Structure formats: C-alpha cells, structure tokens
Amino acid sequence: MAADLSKLKQDLTRRMDSALDTLRREFNGLRTGRAHPGLLEPVKVHAYGTDMPLAQVGTVGVPEPRMLTVQVWDRALVGVVEKAIRDAGLGLNPAADGQMVRVPIPQLTTERRNELAKTAHKYAEGARVAIRGVRRDGMEQIKAFEKKHEVGEDVAKDWHNEVQKLTDQYIKRVDDALSDKEKDIRQV
C-alpha cells in the first residue's frame, strides 16, 4: 500500500520533470539576440533523401556573441544547410563560407521581442497544462486506491495534498523559467 503511493509520487515527479524539460527545450529554440547552439536545434536539413537534425550534418559553434557557425562535414551539403537555416522561420540570414556556414544573429526588433514573449507564454501554458494533467492522473489514482479500500480516507486526503504541493512546486518552476526567458528576450 505505502509502496504504491511512493511509486505514484515518483511517477508523477518523473512526468512533471519531463514537462519541464520539454519547456526548456522549447525555450532554447527561441532567439534572444545572443548566439547559442540550441537556437539551431529545430532546424531540419534534407540530406541523403531524408530530413535530419542539423547536428547530424555539421557542428554548431559560437565564435562571437552574435555569430553562429556551422562546420558542415560534407561539402556538398553546404547550400542545403544554408537553405534549411534560412527557411526555418528563425529570422536568420546565413552565408556560406567554404565548408562553413556563418549565421549572424541580428538585433531583435521590439515587435519581434513581443512575438517571442507571446510564444514563450504559449509554451509555458502548455507546460502548465501538462503538469495539471499529471496532477489529475495522480488524483484519480489516489481515488481508485481509496475506492478499493487500499487506503483510508485520511491517508488519501494527505496524498491529495501532497500531489497538490508537488504540482504547485512545478508550476512555480514553470513560472520562474518563463520569467527568466522573458527577461532574456526583453534585454536589449
């Protein structure tokens, strides 16, 4: 009985961590005006008859605070990589330079900053919804334990409170991550 409840908490924690990790990955894809390799993570390159992540055709580097470079391993793919970055919807204008693609990171306009902030809020709300869904699943499992008389009413109430505390902690972490990302986006 007690093992089921501790396993339940571990499962809920794992699933909430997963929602938070997804949010962090989504935030990494939002351009903030500073160069970081995660910015090009969502870029897919059509190479060798299939779409593959940019990381599988080259190495992303940050030689300067406002410049990314992609060292393409196969010289024949330089043009394809350049086009994939340009078409990725990140507002970037790459330039081929031998076997390397240089990607200058332009200054963000106020309008673009507002769009990015809205997108960040959308991602954060998605994470909150996912966390609340995990909470709902946990609450339903506790009710099922109670219904089968595996736990008493008092224990079930304590665990409902425990699941709610866990949910509140993760929602706060989402809000903190959003606040940090928004500061990053708004910083000129």
- Residue 72 contacts residue 101 (beta carbons within 8 Å): yes
Domain 2-28+109-186 in CATH 1.10.132.20? The answer is yes
Q: Euclidean distance between the first and final Cα of the chain, in Å?
A: 55
Tens of pLDDT, residues 105-117? 888 788 888 988 9
Question: Could you tell me the two tokens for 178?
Answer: 């959003």
Query: CATH 3.30.1360.40 spans which residues of the chain?
Result: 37-104
- In this prediction, residue 2 carries a pLDDT of 53
What are the C-alpha distances in Å from 66 to residues 9, 92, 105, 116, 139? 43, 12, 5, 18, 47
Question: Could you tell me the two tokens for 167?
Answer: 């949910």
Q: Which amino acid is at 159?
A: W
Which three-class secondary structure string do you get for 91-136?
CCCCEEECCEEEEECCCCCHHHHHHHHHHHHHHHHHHHHHHHHHHH
The pLDDT of residue 186 is above 80: yes
**Which position has the higher pLDDT, 185 or 10?**
10
The pLDDT of residue 3 is above 60: no
- Residue 93 contacts residue 105 (beta carbons within 8 Å): no
What global pTM score does this model have?
Answer: 0.72
**Mean pLDDT of all residues in the chain?**
89
pLDDT band at 123 (very low <50, low <70, confident <90, very high): very high
Is beta strand 95-97 parallel, antiparallel or unpaired with respect to 50-53?
Answer: unpaired
Give dist(CA 128, CA 121) in Å, integer: 10
Share of the chain above pLDDT 90, in %: 55
The pLDDT of residue 171 is above 90: yes
For residue 68, give the DSSP letter.
Answer: E
Tens of pLDDT, residues 69-94? 999 999 999 999 999 999 887 778 99
Query: CATH 1.10.132.20 spans which residues of the chain?
Result: 2-28+109-186
CATH for 37-104, among 3.40.50.2300, 3.30.499.10, 3.30.1360.40, 3.40.190.10?
Answer: 3.30.1360.40
What are the C-alpha distances in Å from 104 to residues 34, 107, 118, 137? 10, 10, 24, 45
Question: Could you tell me the two tokens for 117?
Answer: 């902030």
Tens of pLDDT, residues 18-54? 999 999 988 887 767 777 888 888 889 998 889 999 8
- In this prediction, residue 17 carries a pLDDT of 96
* C-alpha R_g of the chain: 22
Give dist(CA 163, CA 182) in Å, integer: 28
Question: What mean pLDDT comes out for the span 150-163?
Answer: 90
